Chain A
Amino acid sequence: MGRFVKNDRDWRLGVLAVALALIAWQFIAAVIIRYPFILPAPTDVALAFVSLVAKGDIFIDLGTSLVHFAIGLGLALLVGIPLGIIMGWNRRVEALVDPLIELLRPIPPLAWIPFAIIWFGLTSFSAGFIIFIGAVFPIIINTYSGFRGVPRVFVEAGKMLGCTKDRDLVRYIAFPAALPSVAAGIRIATGVGWMCLVAAELFGVSNFGLGQKLWFYYSLHQMDSVVVYMILLGLIGLAFDMIFRSYVDKKFLKWRTGEVA
């Protein structure tokens, strides 16, 4: 099962599409527009990349951003998963907390920037806080709805087999049953959190960081370097997603093969 519907998509077509897009970009930038400030050509970007790597700052930027991101996502996991579990398991807690969450959730993460600065100053924690705000809600909501959706028969089967304490039922029945949903929430949170990074570094919490440098090179009108950071942000976001998927799906969710196509 599952292995019969293996995804046989030809990866060479994807490579071809990227190559064609690069050629078209080069042509438009270098032949039609011929103004790197409006649109730097791939060759300009490649040269900018080489000089940025030679300077070495790019690695510090990467490390700084990963620290911001780790703070934000780590806190979001630490708060979101237990909160989601309690809300999903206990109807009273849900009734108590859910309206609050629904009120806070529509506030865009970036609207928290002023308070992030006031509360945490220009530190990594204020950048982390913005990422936290972006990441925590998908984690809460997916954890909570995952727990809500645990089939009753699993809980009852557990009880009949001697798993009767609430703590054990959560640990042995509800959590594994909800794990696909929890994992999906973390994956969404990773994406949203990473998207918040550029804005979180916009207000100068540090002299380094991928988002910070993007704004810095924009202010210098070095658009080729801006594109280097854009691509880097995109590729790292993609890498997170791929690592997450291959690791989590293979390690924790392999039982789902055959259940989902």
Chain B
Amino acid sequence: MGDLVIQSLNQSFPRDDGSRLVVLENLGLTVKDKEFVCILGSSGCGKTTLLRMIAGLDTAESGSIVLDGEEIRGPNPKVGMVFQEYSLFPWRTVIDNIAFGLEMRGMPKEERYRVAEEYLELVNLSQFRDSFPSELSGGMRQRVAVARALALDPVVLLMDEPFGALDAQTRNKLQIELLEIWEKTKKTVVFITHSVDEAVFLSDRVVVLTPRPGRICQVYEIRLPRPRDRTSPEFAEIRRQVLDLINQHCSIQ
């Protein structure tokens, strides 16, 4: 129930000279129900491509992605997505952004506002209910984007470097908040990042991708209890191990 099973996934794009650039090669991965998995890799390793295929925004050349026993063939209400860039609709207020998916689903106005307000509270932004996205800071915008994705109660939440554009302090704060939200809502999360620190802080498992073609290099289980302390020796040790692993096996040749 709720598992995300990816099997022998291949994807390539045509290049100008007629050859094909292999982006993902024979990639297989199973994410368990309610698991928090980080996909770690340098830029250009195909991690965003992978996420877009799980989201149903792109189609794989071959292979399958099965969520909750059902193959993903297109955008799907079981999958929520938080994009890397700011994706809130700037012409809608915060509450109307969060309620958008419910509106598309045909939920009556009163009810969808009630649900949206719950999620607004979950990300602690109730006082910005009627603000426009242009009036929010970058961190707040991404929190609203999380609330908007969660409002549809998806099985899995995909996050594509959602905190990449934020400063370090805000980023750390949002990571803590995200874990709190995850504890409360218990979604399966697939989170993409290029930051080892972020991956170790957040996830149950870190999946390291090699670049070009992207395939799974190592999977690293992180057994540290949460809340994790970034400054503790255990944390530093795991971070060092992951870094070593990447340097030894998974770096660009």
B residues 217-238 near A (Cβ < 8 Å) are none
**CB contact between A255 and one of B85, B100, B132 (< 8 Å): that residue:** B132
Decide yes or no whether A173 CB sits under 8 A from chain B: yes
A-side contacts of B81, CB under 8 Å: 156-157, 160
**CB contact between B87 and one of A157, A162, A256 (< 8 Å): that residue:** A157
Measured CB to CB, the nearest residue on chain B to A254 is B132
B-side contacts of A255, CB under 8 Å: 90-92, 132-134
Decide yes or no whether B152 CB sits under 8 A from chain A: yes
Contact B91 A179 (CB under 8 A): yes
B-side contacts of A16, CB under 8 Å: none
Decide yes or no whether B209 CB sits under 8 A from chain A: no
Measured CB to CB, the nearest residue on chain A to B86 is A153
Contact B101 A159 (CB under 8 A): no
B-side contacts of A162, CB under 8 Å: 75, 77, 101, 104-105, 152
What string of 1s and 0s marks CB contacts (under 8 Å) between B169-202 and chain A?
A: 0000000000000000000000000000000000
The range of chain B's interface size is 20 to 34
Measured CB to CB, the nearest residue on chain B to A159 is B75
Measured CB to CB, the nearest residue on chain A to B80 is A160
Asked whether A161 and B134 contact (CB < 8 A) given A156-B57, A173-B89, A255-B90, the answer is no
Q: How far is the CA of A35 from the CA of B183 in the complex (A)?
A: 88
Decide yes or no whether B53 CB sits under 8 A from chain A: no
A-side contacts of B80, CB under 8 Å: 160
What string of 1s and 0s marks CB contacts (under 8 Å) between B87-105 and chain A?
A: 1111110000000110011
Asked whether A1 and B75 contact (CB < 8 A) given A160-B81, A255-B91, the answer is no
**CB contact between B83 and one of A156, A176, A257 (< 8 Å): that residue:** A156
Decide yes or no whether B216 CB sits under 8 A from chain A: no
Q: How far is the CA of A160 from the CA of B104 in the complex (A)?
A: 11
A-side contacts of B101, CB under 8 Å: 161-162
Asked whether A160 and B134 contact (CB < 8 A) given A173-B89, A176-B91, the answer is no
Contact B89 A176 (CB under 8 A): yes
Contact B83 A153 (CB under 8 A): yes
User: Nearest Cβ distance between residue B95 and chain A, in whole angstroms?
Assistant: 13
9 A-B pairs with CB atoms under 8 Å apart are A154-B89, A159-B75, A160-B55, A160-B75, A160-B81, A162-B101, A164-B74, A177-B89, A255-B91
B contact set with A: CB distance below 8 Å: 55, 57, 74-75, 77, 79-81, 83, 85-92, 100-101, 104-105, 132-135, 148-149, 152
A contact set with B: CB distance below 8 Å: 1, 153-154, 156-164, 168, 172-173, 176-177, 179, 254-259
- Sample of 13 more A-B contacts, CB < 8 Å, known A160-B80, A162-B104: A153-B85, A157-B83, A160-B79, A160-B149, A161-B149, A163-B100, A163-B104, A172-B104, A179-B91, A255-B91, A255-B92, A255-B133, A256-B134
